């Protein structure tokens, strides 16, 4: 019976943290260890993605089979601005003078 779940897209609600949901495709069910293995895993609360994860049966509150829909879109824009590929920062030019003379040095 457990093998009939393999390949299904599911949304798994966890006990902790409260209202935590894990979405993925069932890739394995280990009845002896009471563990569900998911692949293409997405955490809607955080937007985090991982290739796979194991979920212990003792922390599962609910499992719902979801329609096989495309995965939620990935962010195309980075969270920080990027410089163009050809942007290079150059060090300031050397003026040949020290800004602060060493202690005890004579000023010329």
pLDDT in tens, 12-70: 999 987 778 999 999 999 988 889 999 999 999 888 999 999 999 999 999 999 886 55
CA 56/CA 37 separation, integer angstroms? 9
Q: Which residue range is the domain that position 58 belongs to?
A: 2-65
For the chain, how many structural domains are there in total? 1
Decide if 72 is inside a domain.
no
Encoding tokens for residue 96? 């040949």
Is 70 exceeded by the pLDDT of residue 5?
yes
d(CA 73, CA 6): 24
- Residue 55 to residue 104: CA distance in whole angstroms: 69
User: Residue 19 has what pLDDT?
Assistant: 77
Confidence (pTM): 0.59
Q: Does the residue 93 lie in any domain?
A: no
């Amino acid at each position: 019976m457990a093998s009939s779940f393999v390949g299904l897209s599911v949304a798994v609600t966890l006990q902790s943290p409260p209202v935590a949901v894990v979405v993925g495709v069932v890739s394995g069910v280990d009845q002896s260890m009471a563990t569900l293995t998911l692949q293409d895993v997405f955490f809607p609360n955080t937007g985090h993605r991982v290739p796979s994860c194991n979920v212990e049966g003792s922390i599962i509150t609910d499992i719902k089979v979801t329609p096989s829909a495309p995965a939620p879109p990935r962010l195309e824009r980075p969270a920080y601005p990027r410089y163009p590929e050809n942007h290079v920062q150059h060090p300031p030019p050397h003026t040949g003078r020290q800004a602060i003379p060493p202690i005890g040095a004579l000023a010329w």
